[in-house]
Structure 1
Amino acid sequence: MTGKIYDVAVTESWKIFLLFISVSLFFLSSNFLFQLLELSIWGTFISIVLSIAIYYLCKSLTTQNKVLFLGKNKIEIDNKAFYYDDFTSYKTHRFSGVSLKLKLKSGKTLPLTCNDNFCDSLPLSKFVDDFEKRATDHPHIKKIKSFGERKIGLYISIVLTVLLFLSLGYQLIYNEEMTLSSLFSLLLVSLTALWSGIEIKSYGRNSI
């Protein structure tokens, strides 16, 4: 069997959502209880500490390990084979991790997602890169561009960046409480969030 094996960790969005909802409800309910016991400041502090502890203790429940195989004519997900002839298209997304959605002729979608906040996305990212190279040998498998890979995504990001600079420049000039250090920090965070999903290298690809 000629090919490459990848040991990857994947995350499930519904589990991440459920974790955040559970932690938020625990914080609100415990903080409310502490307020009734007239432990305002200490109660809030304890609620925050316990919520963070629960988050990190349950964090691993949102991930699972999978063994992926990439061969010449097929891929395997936990020893279940899917041949390239069965695929019609795929879509990738890189923001706080990496995701790959494979569309089958049957209409079924095979999602593989790894969120950097919950596990190491590098192994899955390598698999996605190698799959894209292999997919070029199968012209019937079309790549559907994500928002960050489309030109409209680039144009909108440029416009928002200009507006961001103008807005922060205005605040720096007319808002005496705005310091240069706080401006730089806000600018860095905003630009990172704005541009991290943009993939300029994808423009010009033969894709949808």
Structure 2
Amino acid sequence: MPLKNTGTEQLIKDTAKQLLFAEGKLHATTQEIADAAGVNRTALHYYFRSRDQLIAAVFQDAMQGLSQRLDECMLSETSFREKTANIIAVFLKDMIAFPYQETFLITEINTFGKKLITNIQSEPVKSYLKEASDEMEKGSIDKMEPIHFLMNLFSLMSYPLIMAPLYKKLFRVSEKEFQRLINERETLIMNMLFKS
């Protein structure tokens, strides 16, 4: 049996990621992915026996990558405020590059359930929540259940991007104007969450 060309396998995953996450083609077929990757469908099926296997591989890569980047922010040797700013910067950078990634991840979780969520470490989150609690005691952020603080943080970042197509029409803003608004989010979010 010939060895698999992992470069081709990665090309297929990267192409699927581009179609699904960047272009929003959440229902892209294996033929569309193969065509975009410049491979035939037989090659795609050699690496991924079905569309479901390809989607599962792309899902796992996306979850692992995002989780790793956020964990690094949460465990960094910086102040809580700097950690939070870094989380926002990392998350928004991902969301701007791949505006449909969150929609894809949520759709897949809702479709296939919790079994898809693996390799998510709870220690970085526990550590970050403990620091949030400490900051509340210091008075730098409003007192609340620390989980609410983190849910608020993620909501403030992701919701505007998930709703971007509707917001662009509702507010009658161009892509360039919407991008400007998103670029302002980091400062706005920090001002909402932290007391001066």
| Larger helix proportion of the pair | 2
Higher strand share: 1
TM-score, normalising length from structure 2?
0.30
Report which of the two structures shows the higher radius of gyration computed on alpha carbons.
1
- TM-score calculated relative to the size of structure 1: 0.29
